[in-house]
Structure 1
Amino acid sequence: MIDRSHIGHTLDPFSVAVEAGRLRFFAKATGQNDPIYSDEATARAAGYPDLPVPPSFLFCLEMESPNPAAIRELLGLDYRRLLHGEQQFTYHALAHAGDTLTFSQRIEDIYDKKAGALEFVVRRTHVVNQHGSPVAELRSVTVMRNG
């Protein structure tokens, strides 16, 4: 069983610069055809200061953590038995190319179902920009299959 005493554990915050080239690549890879995600002039003409961060790109930036496996290692999770259970994004403001975003991760909950056959780890990540203004909250659920 995953040690429930880790509920509330926070990891050290880390910051990531949002790069225009990566935004263009992500837009292309995800089939985003709206030119505001790939052309700075179009984005500015639409009223944005630079290329806006497309939906779900924050998940990619979260993987820029100094140790993307930190929670898995802390909890002793066997990656061969892990499933991605759920992903949610709550946006407070847009981020753009040129911003620096800071990610603060916390283990929000650990629980089980089916008499411990499935264990769930809920991680919440708060994201703020270089001005300390809230950008988003990410919520992720990882499932550990036991037995």
Structure 2
Amino acid sequence: MTATLDPAVIGRQLPSTELTIDAGRLKFFAKAIGETNPIYFDETAAQAAGHATLPVPPTFLFAIELENPDPFAWAADLGIDLRFVLHGEQRFTYHSVAHAGDVVTAAPRVTDVYSKKGGALQFIVKETTVTRADGSAVADLTSVIVVRNPGGASA
């Protein structure tokens, strides 16, 4: 791992991921997160609530980038040792509801890097835009990844 993340990575576009949202996967995800609202796993309930089909449950979009064959290759390219990575924060700004059958693209980029505790903790801020195949906005995702730097000071 590099001693410090180079601020020159700010603005770096990371590999995009395209995903066709599958109804079965939405149902599985809803069950996994303990969702009890039937619009997320029952087509009839979703349609009765005004949706054409199952809507995407909150936080599902976070998983799109995990579809890449090596979803953390970008971190390795920055010299980050994944053994020292922690998930720090996740935020979602929704623009429209995505549904089963939608084809969406997640386009991430690094928007900030900074350190705390004398370099013992380094932070990478990654912003991802999620759009449909027609270009319409679905959501903006922000994640903060914390990298413990064993060689950094501990203020």
2:48 counterpart residue number = 45
One-letter amino acid of the structure 2 residue matched with residue 31 of structure 1: G
2:16 and 2:30 map into 1 onto residues whose CA distance is 27
Tell me if structure 1 keeps the 8 A contact 2:76–2:82: no
Q: What is the 5 A alignment of 1:50-89?
A: 50-89=53-92
Q: Map 1:1-147; keep pairs closer than 5 Å.
A: 1-147=4-150
Which structure 2 segments of 5+ residues have no match? Answer: 151-155
Whole-Å separation in 1 of the counterparts to 2:96 and 2:23: 18
The offset of 1:14, in angstroms, is 2.2
Q: Deviations over 1:14-52 (max 9, x none)?
A: 210100000000111111111110111111111101100
Partner of 2:55: helix, strand, or coil?
coil
Tell me the secondary structure at the aligned position of residue 115 of structure 1.
helix
Q: Give the C-alpha shift of residue 12 in structure 1.
A: 3.2
1:110-145 Cα distance to aligned partner (Å, 9 max, x none): 111111111100000000012210000110111111
Q: Helix, strand or coil for the counterpart of 1:12? A: coil
Structure 1 residues 87-126: Cα deviation after superposition (integer angstroms, max 9, x where no partner):
1111000000000000101000111111111110000000
CA contact (8 A) 1:101 1:128 kept: yes
Work out whether residues 17 and 64 of structure 2, in 8 Å CA contact, stay in contact via their aligned partners in 1.
no
Alignment identity in percent?
52
Q: Give distance in 1, aligned partners of 2:73 and 2:141.
A: 17
TM-score between both structures, scaled by the size of structure 2: 0.91
> Structure 1: which 5+ residue stretches go unaligned?
none
TM-score (ref. length: structure 1): 0.95
Q: Answer whether contact 1:122 1:140 (CA < 8 A) is retained.
A: yes
Deviation above 2 Å: which 4+ runs of structure 1? none
Aligned AA for 1:17? T
